[in-house]
Amino acid sequence: MESVELLDPSDFPTMRKHGLMCAMVSFPTGTLKDGKTRVGGIGKAFNRLEHHDTLVEVYGQRIKETANAGLKNLICFSGNRDGMDDETGLKNCAIGIKRILPIAEKHNVTISMELLNSRVDHKDYMCDRTPWGVALCQAIGSERFGLLYDIYHMQIMEGDVIRTIRDNHKYLYHYHTGGNPGRNEIDETQELNYAAIMRAILATGYKGHVGQEFIPKRKDKLASLEQGVRICDV
C-alpha cells in the first residue's frame, strides 16, 4: 500500500512523514456570495453556473497545493440535479471545468469527476452513469480531465462493469472498490468478482492506483483491508 486517498493539504505533512502519497486529493469547498451556501461537495458543484466563480477560486488554490506537494490527481463532483435536466447540467459542468483547466494544465494536475450512484447513497446526483461522464469528457476534450470510476457505485447503477471498463477506459483515470450490496468487504460475501475486474483494468494498460473504499463489517478492520489488497493484487 502506497497511498491514502482524499487527503486535504493539512494532511500532507503526516502523509510525507510515513512515506506515503495521495493518489487522489480531496475536493475544496467555498462559500457563495450569499455567505451561507457551501459549494464544491457532492451535492452542490459544477452543474450550476452560479457556483463557478467560487469553484474556480477554490480549485485554483487546491490545484497549486496539490502540485506543490508533488501530487497529480484532484477529485471533483457534478452536483445534484435538483430539477435540472442532464443536458443542461453537462453543458454547465463543461463550462465550469474548462475555466480551471488552464491552471491544471500549467501545474500538471489532473481533475477527475467521480461517478456515484443516485439510487442508494447519493440521491439525485447528476454524474451517476458512465455515458454521461464520458460525454462530459468528450465535451471538455482535455487529457487533464477524466472520470473516477467507482466500481461499487456503477454496479448499482449499471452493472456490466468489465465491459464498461474495456469500452471506456481512455476516460477512466482512477478506480475505487466496494462490495455490493452494502459497500463492505470485496470478498465472496458480495456479488462482484474483484480479481476478474482488476485483471480487466490491468488489460487496459492502466498504471495508476486502486482505492479501497469499502466499509469493513468485521472487527479486525486491518485484516479486511489486507484481504482487499490481496484480492486486487493480480
pLDDT tens digits along 184-223: 999 999 999 999 999 999 999 999 999 999 999 999 999 9
pTM of the model: 0.96
Output the tens digit of pLDDT for each of the chain's 234 residues. Answer: 899 999 999 999 999 999 999 999 999 999 999 999 999 999 999 999 999 999 999 999 999 999 999 999 999 999 999 999 999 999 999 999 999 999 999 999 999 999 999 999 999 999 999 999 999 999 999 999 999 999 999 999 999 999 999 999 999 999 999 999 999 999 999 999 999 999 999 999 999 999 999 999 999 999 999 999 999 999
Q: What pLDDT does 123 receive?
A: 97
Percent residues over pLDDT 90 in the chain: 100
Compute the half-sphere exposure of residue 163: CA atoms within 13 Å on the CB side of its CA: 5
3 state DSSP class of 94: helix
Domain 9-232 falls in which CATH fold?
Answer: TIM Barrel (3.20.20)
Contact between 143 and 104 under an 8 Å Cβ cutoff? The reply is no
Burial class (CB in 10 A: 0-12, 13-18, 19+), 29: middle
